[in-house]
Amino acid sequence: MGKSIIKQNGECDLKVRARVVVSGRVQGVFFRSETQDEALRHGLTGWVRNLPDGRVEAVFEGEKDMVDRLIEFCRRGPPGGRVTRVEVAWEKYTGEFKSFSIRYGY
């Protein structure tokens, strides 16, 4: 699931990757924008996009505790949203992203 990274001070961070699909009233309520803001605030990389069926999909990479926090944000959603389901799939950390972006199109 994750990859351990040893910091200069000797502490170990577990880097993980999660693919998240959120259902409910999650489009047209700034879900992607708020998710991007939260991801950047927590030092995460990856992306978020709308799906044609009305759900939102995202990939988060970074320290496990920060990814967990962003998943918790997805369970609540932004004001105006209403989350009914959050599916989380843990994948192998790749480190492929430089930042966190909103993807457009399917």
Could you list the mean pLDDT of each consecutive 10-residue stretch along the chain, which spans 106 residues? 54 87 96 97 98 97 97 95 97 97 89
Given this model, what pLDDT does residue 105 score? 78
Task: Give me the DSSP letters along 31-100.
Answer: HHHHHHHHHHHTT-EEEEEE-TTS-EEEEEEEEHHHHHHHHHHHHH-STT-EEEEEEEEEE------SSE
Q: Catalytic amino acids?
A: 32, 50
